[in-house]
Amino acid sequence: MIRSILRGAAAGAAGTTALDAATYADMALRGRSVSDVPAQAADKLAEDVGLHVGGTGETRDNRLSGLGALSGIGVGVATGVVVSLVHRAGVRMPWWAGSLVAGVLAMAATDASMAQLGVTDPKTWSAKDWVSDVVPHLVYGAVTYGVVAGADCRR
């Protein structure tokens, strides 16, 4: 079980790195700015649980940006652990299906929590917004599931 948790954490970290790379490549290609939604979510979550994020102005904004990014890493690693534990329990899928499920799971965890916090509403997103969210999560799923399922090949 410990190996599955560690494998899942590593898979989720690799997937998160791939997701970030896909996101930054999209930003570079289209010239779009970084999303402030993760920072807004961090701010709202801190407020909801009664935590004070220190600083003012740019300093506070930078802290919230960092907290938003760290929360995304946490979701990515945790999703990798879930995928690995499900795989360990015997659920085996073709690579494409496992990749899709892992990507959708990570996307749902992220988008649902941000919608629940009230910082975004996916119902109002444009087609470009959806592509900017879906594509990196599919990349995440492919890398994460590939690492998890790849462990079977090494045995």
In this prediction, residue 152 carries a pLDDT of 73
**Six-digit token pair at 69?**
């990014």
In a domain, 45, yes or no: no
**Six-digit token pair at 9?**
């954490």
Closest CA to 136 of 12, 28, 13, 22: 22
In a domain, 63, yes or no: no
In a domain, 39, yes or no: no
In a domain, 41, yes or no: no
Question: Position 123: which residue type?
Answer: K
Range of the domain at 24: 2-34+70-153
61 Cβ partners below 8 Å, 6+ apart? 39
In this prediction, residue 153 carries a pLDDT of 66
In a domain, 59, yes or no: no
Structure confidence by residue, pLDDT tens digits, 78-116: 999 999 999 999 999 999 999 999 999 999 999 999 999
Total domain count, the chain: 1
Distance of CA 72 to the CA centre of its chain: 5
C-alpha dihedral, 13 to 138 to 110 to 126, nearest 10°: 140
Q: What is d(CA 44, CA 66) in angstroms, rounded to the nearest whole number?
A: 14
Number of H helices, E strands in the chain: 5, 0
In a domain, 87, yes or no: yes
In a domain, 89, yes or no: yes
In a domain, 53, yes or no: no
**Six-digit token pair at 66?**
């960092």
Structure confidence by residue, pLDDT tens digits, 1-50: 999 999 999 999 999 999 999 999 999 999 998 889 999 999 999 999 99
pTM of the model: 0.90
In this prediction, residue 139 carries a pLDDT of 98
